[in-house]
Amino acid sequence: MVQILPYIQIILSLLLIGGVLLQQSEAGLGSAFGSGSESSMHHTRRGFEKFLFYFTILVSILFAVTAFMNLLFSR
């Protein structure tokens, strides 16, 4: 189990990077400086966007658990 944990972490990290990069940004450059008026509207996630959001949360939890397991079992 200890030998495959680094490989699991590499796969999870790549999935996490992909999940974060595929998510739609809700804040544009204008809203970063305070001039974005469309950022005050409520946005509901639907379909693939909702799946990607929950997938990213799940992968991040799994990554944290495997990192903790790697810390415990590497000694």
Reference 25, options 52, 7, 1, 4; nearest CA is 52
Task: For 3-59, write each residue's pLDDT tens digit.
Answer: 999 999 999 999 999 999 999 876 655 555 565 555 556 678 889 999 999 999 999
* Structural domain spans, the chain: 1-23+45-75
Left, alpha or beta for 34 (phi > 0: left; psi -120 to 50: alpha)? Answer: left
Cβ-contact 5, 73 below 8 angstroms: yes
pTM above 0.85, yes or no: no
